Amino acid sequence: MKPIFFTPGPGQLHPLVKTYTEQAFRENICSISHRSETFRSIYSQTIDALRELMNIPQNFQIFFLGSATEAMERIIQNCVQHNSLHFVNGSFSRRFYDTAVDLKKKASLIEAQYGAGFDFRTVTTDLPVELICITHNETSTGVALPMDEVYSLKKRFPGSLLAVDIVSSAPYIALDYNYVDCAFFSVQKGFGLPAGVGVMIINYSCLEKAQLLQCSNTNIGSYHNFLSLQKQAVNLQTPETPNVLGIYLLGKICEAYLDKGPHIIRFETDEKARLLYDFFIKNKQYQPFVANPKIRSRTVIVADVNGGSIPLIEKLSNHGYLVGAGYGPLKKQHIRIANFPMHTRDDVLKLIETMDI
Ligand SMILES: *Cc1c(COP(=O)(O)O)cnc(C)c1O
């Protein structure tokens, strides 16, 4: 039996990836020049599909990078001369903070315990902050921050840019781009694709900031800075030879999601999340790790397992269900279950049956 990957990325491939990859081979996608008309048409098809699927306004640019981790580095380099502010409640938000520290910025952090969120209304800063960094869905702990509270930051700090990591909540999350300057994700989570493409979405305020930094002699990077990316993007191209197959497949999967309907994807995601949380609440062997129901992620569900998670993970794997262990220090205590569009309701019900011990 083929295993089902409930691991929160990389994980279960979208069932159409094989078909689209075969199609790509028939169309010689991997051999064409990235300066050709064929590539430009692939590029624009993927951008158009992404824009429609994720409701990205025309005044936002979409750039292709190598990964989400790369996006973190590019965003810090291009939006921060001195000060960034980071909300850290798990390993991925910490990575964003560490990136700013590595790049020698004055990074401040507001920390919450793992499994908790933040009280955004009481946030104050001593310094003027150029960039606020948020991880919407903390994949290490299963906390999803309430976006209306995140948007209130933009109202209270209108001079700051706001960057949001949506890696493990896209395409489920519906961002309001009125309150966000920059967002990014990679394709091996909710899009069910092989890893190797990062997508960064930025507005003109971010581009202006990068221009300003460059004029003031700040190093904004060379290979992928916002200005070099923008210069090529207007020609429907990338600075380097990109992952053409990855960009092609992303466009196809976005079209498949559009055919299905983003509202149906959201409805099904909510429904499957409800089944999983209800089970963890009812069964005495488990407990949802995130105590506050309002900030429980719908796309990465984390449960505490009585007596430790390792034997359970092995048992599930013997039944063909691969789930994630806890992250970092919580490795042996938690299971983490991805609830992405590729995971069917049937798969989730069978997983729950197998977890019912
Ligand atoms: C997986 C993940 C990342 C890292 O993505 P890469 O594509 O491996 O760079 C960053 N943030 C979150 C929230 C993630 O889940």
User: For each of the chain's 357 residues, which pLDDT tens digit applies?
Assistant: 799 999 998 999 999 999 999 999 999 999 999 999 999 999 999 999 999 999 999 999 999 999 999 999 999 999 999 999 999 999 999 999 999 999 999 999 999 999 999 999 888 887 789 999 999 999 999 999 999 999 999 989 999 999 999 999 999 999 999 999 999 999 999 999 999 999 999 999 999 999 999 999 999 999 999 999 999 999 999 999 999 999 999 999 999 999 999 999 999 999 999 999 999 999 999 999 999 999 999 999 999 999 999 999 999 999 999 999 999 889 999 999 999 999 999 999 999 999 997
In ligand 1, the atom with minimum distance to the C-alpha of 168 is: 15
Neighbours of 53 (CB within 10 A): 19
The closest residue, in CA terms, to atom 14 on ligand 1 is 167
Pocket test for ligand 1, best of 168, 200, 297 (most atoms within 8 A of CB): 168
The total of other beta-carbon atoms located within 10 Å of residue 2's CB is 5
CB 148 within 8 A of CB 301: no
Going from the Cα of 195 to the center of ligand 1, the distance in angstroms, rounded, reads 10
Task: For residue 139, give the ligand 1 atom closest to its CA.
Answer: 15
pTM: 0.98
Of the candidates 171, 172, 116, which has an alpha carbon nearest to the alpha carbon of residue 145? 116
**CB-based pocket (< 6 A), ligand 1:** 9, 67-69, 92, 135, 137, 139, 165, 167-168, 186, 198
Question: Beta 324-325 vs 334-338: how paired, if at all?
Answer: antiparallel
Q: How far apart are the first and last CA of the chain?
A: 22
Indicate the burial class of 316 (C-beta count within 10 angstroms; 0-12, 13-18, 19 or more). Answer: buried
**Residue 26 CA, ligand 1 centroid: distance in Å:** 31
User: Could you give the angle at the alpha carbon of 297 between the alpha carbons of 293 and 302, nearest 5°?
Assistant: 90
Contacts for 93 with CB less than 8 Å, ≥ 6 apart: 86, 87, 133, 134, 135, 138, 165
Distance 281 CA to ligand 1 centre (A): 28
